[in-house]
């Protein structure tokens, strides 16, 4: 076959491959799925292996955040793997490192039994302390409707759901790849009344 024919055949094949690739990438996303949102979500692993007695509260707190924000996803770390959020049970007041924590970095959450002994709700405590890890400071004093009002809402408050402002702040903190370069604040916030 002459050289010119090879070039034509090669060019035609390359054009066909490029056209097919363009058609494949131009296909619409499945209904109900936002591929941009899924691609932008930051996954943070938590290790609660040293938080005995708090497992149900941690699961409920994680579920609350995962149901209310889409730019970040909290998942339990596999045994023996490194986690961004290390959760431990203590005898003192709950406290946490102020984030937002980023993949490959690490913050600590201490779920203190002193607050439970005084009548505060475990699930609210867990969700509140996770909120610190995600970059939210305390909003004391504050109403029960504000998760980050913490102990100032009183012992009768069991709300473990972030409000619209809290959700928005976490969404913004994890909104882009550029935000991933911003380090966590690093301050330890102690949630005693």
| HSE toward the beta carbon, residue 177, CA cutoff 13 A | 2
Closest among 54, 113, 91, 100 to 62, alpha carbons compared:
54
Supply 46's token pair: 């938590």
Q: Is 129 a residue of the active site?
A: yes
Please report where in the chains the tokens 């069991």 appear, as a residue.
158
Burial degree of 177 (CB within 10 A; 0-12, 13-18, 19+): exposed
72 upstream amide cis, omega within 30 of 0 = no
The DSSP line for 121-156 is -HHHHHHHHHHHHTTPPP--S--TT-GGGGGGG-TT
* Catalytic residue (choose from 84, 110, 129, 166): 129
H or E, element range at 9: helix 3-25
**Residues designated catalytic:** 129
């Amino acid at each position: 076959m002459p050289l010119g024919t090879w070039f034509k055949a090669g060019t035609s094949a390359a054009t066909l491959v490029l056209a097919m690739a363009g058609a494949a990438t131009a296909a619409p996303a499945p209904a109900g799925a936002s591929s941009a949102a899924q691609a932008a979500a930051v996954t943070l692993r938590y290790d609660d292996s040293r938080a005995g007695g708090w497992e149900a509260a941690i699961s409920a707190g994680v579920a609350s955040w995962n149901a209310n924000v889409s730019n970040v996803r909290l998942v339990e770390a596999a045994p023996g793997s490194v986690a961004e959020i290390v959760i431990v049970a203590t005898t003192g007041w709950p406290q946490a490192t102020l984030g937002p924590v980023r993949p490959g970095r690490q913050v600590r959450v201490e779920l203190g039994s002193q607050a439970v002994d005084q009548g505060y709700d475990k699930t609210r405590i867990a969700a509140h302390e996770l909120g610190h890890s995600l970059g939210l400071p305390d909003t004391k004093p504050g109403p029960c409707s504000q998760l980050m009002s913490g102990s100032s809402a009183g012992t009768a408050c069991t709300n473990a759901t972030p409000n619209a402002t809290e959700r928005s702040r976490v969404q913004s903190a994890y909104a882009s790849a550029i935000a991933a370069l911003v380090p966590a604040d690093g301050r330890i916030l102690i949630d005693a009344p």
